[in-house]
């Protein structure tokens, strides 16, 4: 196989399998080329990935070695993406009663969701995360996007137990902003003890839901290494029950009456 | 830029933007190369994509022309993937009361979900689909996977109206298998009249939920061009209220007492 063909095939394979260690012999056999040629291909690819701002290839030497694609998103592209997101979210038409913002259209765009996932994955790539946990339903697409770049499974906490799930563990928690008691459940067989996870959600006000998830996850003895939320309501900062988290955008000065709102970059960029 | 660098960059860009028409001048400018070189690159890429069984490049000539990546999955890989899925689903440990099957672990794997999405997208690519519609919550990841390959937005029908959504349209429907009356809602601003959509869900028994979605979508005057379900319960065929659909796997001889189940390839392969 010619180098040009091989580069196309290898690029495709590597992009589809982020964070996964791929041995040189695997490529060597799959594309019928000497290991030295494969090595050269990977060097070119690594340079090009960095130039394009989509990450880099990590080389692991030794018998069990190989190469691993670490997805990243360069700062310039990340900031440009989030700035644009802020401008879209500031549209007064998005303001809904109760201090909420209509985001379903944006969260319905696979490309946007994928980029959001790439940003969190870039940030969490070194934390050894083994699963992404989210709560139904709006956080689900973002959680899958993060998980696809981290190459780990998604675990979904539900607000109502489903008959199709088998036995579950459930907790009650107090919603931070509405002060209502709510419950959430997680299927017993969905998480093993000792797993390292990150929590992903779309929106955080006072943080009651995320705090509830943390309590629930404690029952499973898992380690929460990171929390990522797409948007946080800055006005709720005083009452916040969660302190360690990463947000992409911050929403403030929510003025339902005058249909005004301010959206700026979140603490991701700090 | 050298051809090898360009091929890596172009492969990445094209894979990230399926179904999207990309003009030659765009590549020409982005990778600083003559249009003739770009044309040659695309020819190599098209051959390699087909050889790897991941789709092909469609060329559109003329002033507004360019190239479009049509994701496909060759028959051999598709069958191998679904066969493996069948074997995994046949595990008696998955049997749950009520004729349900535990699938959350499989639906939690981003790579598996992505491949399921690729299969449906391959099948629906020529239907001019403009949005993927699913119902919360288990169908959501599959819907996003399909949508990412078709490069269209996802619209989520909910079982309970959320305050964060604005005004909604709702219908009541009879669940085909349990004969219970249920309701589903869709935000008014989420779909425009005349849109062509496909419906995606994880599991279909008698088809009441999907039939309900069809009724709801009629209120929006949208055209349902295709229905895709990951798994269908074959034992329910007689009572089925939906007849045109594509399934990846068929579940039959569901025997809860003796913990036996049979899973075979769905009508996707017929």
Question: CATH number, domain at A56?
Answer: 1.10.10.10
% of chain B exceeding 70 in pLDDT: 96
pLDDT of residue B43: 97
Instruction: Give yes or no: residues A62 and A90 share one domain.
Output: no
- Ranking A154-158, B46-50, B63-67 by mean pLDDT, the lowest is B63-67
Chain B within 8 Å of A40 (Cβ-Cβ)? no
Beta bridge partners of B70: B56
Residue B121's pLDDT band (cuts 50, 70, 90): very high
Mean pLDDT of chain A: 92
Q: Which residue has the tokens 């279909």?
A: B204
- Ranking A223-232, B157-166, B214-223, B259-268 by mean pLDDT, the lowest is B157-166
Spell B8-38 as b/e; 16+ CB within 10 A means b.
bbbbbbbbbebbeebbbeebbebbebeeebb
- Would you say the ipTM is above 0.90? yes
Instruction: Give yes or no: residues B56 and B88 share one domain.
Output: no
Mean pLDDT of chain B: 92
Q: Identify whether A80 is part of a domain.
A: no
Collect all residues of chain A within an 8 Å Cβ-Cβ radius of residue B11: 7-8, 11-12
Angle at A147 between CA A205 and CA A139, to 5 degrees: 30
Confidence check: pLDDT of B162 > 70: no
Instruction: Give yes or no: residues B170 and B44 share one domain.
Output: no
Contact B148 A110 (CB under 8 A): yes
Q: What is the mean pLDDT of residues A178-205?
A: 91
Q: Which helix (H) or strand (E) holds B211?
A: helix B208-219
Q: What is the mean pLDDT of residues A19-33?
A: 96
Q: Which residue has the tokens 């797409």?
A: A230
Highest mean pLDDT among A143-147, A188-192, B163-167: A143-147
Inter-residue contact A230 to A64 (CB < 8 Å) = no
pLDDT of residue A211: 94
Instruction: Give yes or no: residues A147 and A262 share one domain.
Output: yes
Give B186 to chain A, closest Cα distance, Å: 11
Chain B within 8 Å of A191 (Cβ-Cβ)? no
Spell A158-189 as b/e; 16+ CB within 10 A means b.
beebbebbbebbebebebbbeeeeeebbbbee
Q: Rg of chain A over CA atoms, in angstroms? A: 21
Q: How far apart are the C-alpha atoms of A162 and A156, rounded to whole Å? A: 12
Confidence check: pLDDT of B235 > 80: no
Number of domains in chain A: 2
pLDDT of residue B164: 63
Residue A160's pLDDT band (cuts 50, 70, 90): confident
Instruction: Give yes or no: residues B36 and B95 share one domain.
Output: no
Instruction: Give yes or no: residues B54 and B91 share one domain.
Output: no
CATH of the domain at B219: 3.40.50.2020
User: Domain boundary residue among A43, A71, A99?
Assistant: A71
Instruction: Give yes or no: residues B156 and B119 share one domain.
Output: yes
Closest CB from A15, A97, A153 relative to B109: A153
A26 compared with A238, residue with greater pLDDT: A26
Q: Identify whether A145 is part of a domain.
A: yes
| pLDDT tens string A212-247 | 999 999 999 999 999 999 999 987 767 788 889 999
Q: How far apart are the C-alpha atoms of A76 and A55, rounded to whole Å? A: 13
Phi/psi at B65 (5° precision): -85, -170
Instruction: Give yes or no: residues B89 and B173 share one domain.
Output: yes
Instruction: Give yes or no: residues A8 and A112 share one domain.
Output: no
Instruction: Give yes or no: residues B19 and B36 share one domain.
Output: yes
Chain A within 8 Å of B136 (Cβ-Cβ)? yes
Q: How far apart are the C-alpha atoms of B116 and B146, rounded to whole Å? A: 8
| Three-class DSSP category at A145 | helix
Query: Is the Cα torsion angle A200, A205, A209, A210 positive or negative in sign?
Result: positive
| Three-class DSSP category at A174 | strand
Q: How far apart are the C-alpha atoms of A97 and A106, rounded to whole Å? A: 19
Q: What is the mean pLDDT of residues B176-189?
A: 82
Q: How far apart are the C-alpha atoms of B235 and B221, rounded to whole Å? A: 32
Q: Identify whether A77 is part of a domain.
A: no
Among B226, B264, B225, smallest CA distance to B246 is for B226
**Which tokens is B256 given?**
């809860």
Q: How far apart are the C-alpha atoms of A65 and B21, rounded to whole Å? A: 39
User: Domain boundary residue among A14, A37, A71?
Assistant: A71
B224 compared with B235, residue with greater pLDDT: B224
Residue A162's pLDDT band (cuts 50, 70, 90): low
pLDDT of residue B151: 97
| Number of residues that this document lists for chain B | 270
Instruction: Give yes or no: residues A189 and A109 share one domain.
Output: yes
Contacts across the A-B interface (CB distance below 8 Å): 149
User: Domain boundary residue among A71, A94, A119?
Assistant: A71
Q: Identify whether A76 is part of a domain.
A: no
Phi/psi at A201 (5° precision): -145, 165
% of chain B exceeding 90 in pLDDT: 76
Collect all residues of chain B within an 8 Å Cβ-Cβ radius of residue A51: 5, 9
Residue A164's pLDDT band (cuts 50, 70, 90): low
pLDDT of residue B96: 81
A160 compared with B253, residue with greater pLDDT: B253
Residue B64's pLDDT band (cuts 50, 70, 90): confident
Chain A within 8 Å of B12 (Cβ-Cβ)? yes
B204 compared with A162, residue with greater pLDDT: B204
Instruction: Give yes or no: residues A16 and A103 share one domain.
Output: no
Q: Which helix (H) or strand (E) holds A25?
A: helix A24-30
User: What letter does residue B122 receive in the DSSP assignment?
Assistant: H
Residue B219, domain extent:
75-269
pLDDT of residue B177: 64
Spell A222-259 as b/e; 16+ CB within 10 A means b.
bebebbbbbbbbbebeeebbbeebbbbbbbeebeeeee
pLDDT of residue B62: 86
Q: How far apart are the C-alpha atoms of B231 and B264, rounded to whole Å? A: 10
Q: Which helix (H) or strand (E) holds A144?
A: helix A140-150
Q: Identify whether A78 is part of a domain.
A: no
| Number of residues that this document lists for chain A | 270
Give A65 to chain B, closest Cα distance, Å: 23
Q: Identify whether A89 is part of a domain.
A: yes
**Which tokens is B162 given?**
């959320």
Angle at B236 between CA B231 and CA B240, to 5 degrees: 95
């Amino acid at each position: 196989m010619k180098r040009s063909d091989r580069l196309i095939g290898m690029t495709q394979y590597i992009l589809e399998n982020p964070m996964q260690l791929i041995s040189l012999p695997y490529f060597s056999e799959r594309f019928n080329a000497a290991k030295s040629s494969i090595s050269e291909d990977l060097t070119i690819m690594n340079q090009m990935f960095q130039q394009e701002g989509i990450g880099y290839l990590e080389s692991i030497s030794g018998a069990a070695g190989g190469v691993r694609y670490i997805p990243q998103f360069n700062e310039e592209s990340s900031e440009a993406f989030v700035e644009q997101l802020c401008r879209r979210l500031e549209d007064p038409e998005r303001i809904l009663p109760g201090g909420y913002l209509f985001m379903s259209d944006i969260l319905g765009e696979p490309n946007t969701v994928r980029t959001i996932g790439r940003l969190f994955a870039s940030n969490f790539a070194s934390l050894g995360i083994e699963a992404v946990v989210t709560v139904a339903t709006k956080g689900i697409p973002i959680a899958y996007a993060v998980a696809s770049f981290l190459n780990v499974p998604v675990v979904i906490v539900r607000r109502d137990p489903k008959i199709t799930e088998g036995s579950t563990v459930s907790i009650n928690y107090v919603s931070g902003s509405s002060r209502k008691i709510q419950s959430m459940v997680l299927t017993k067989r969905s998480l093993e003890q000792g797993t390292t996870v990150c929590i992903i959600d779309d929106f955080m006000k006072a943080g009651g839901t995320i705090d509830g998830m943390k309590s629930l996850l404690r029952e499973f003895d898992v380690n929460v290494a990171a929390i990522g939320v797409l948007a946080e309501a800055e006005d709720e900062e005083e009452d916040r029950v969660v302190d360690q988290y990463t947000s992409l955008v911050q929403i403030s000065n929510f003025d339902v009456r005058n249909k005004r709102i301010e959206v700026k970059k979140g603490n991701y960029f700090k």
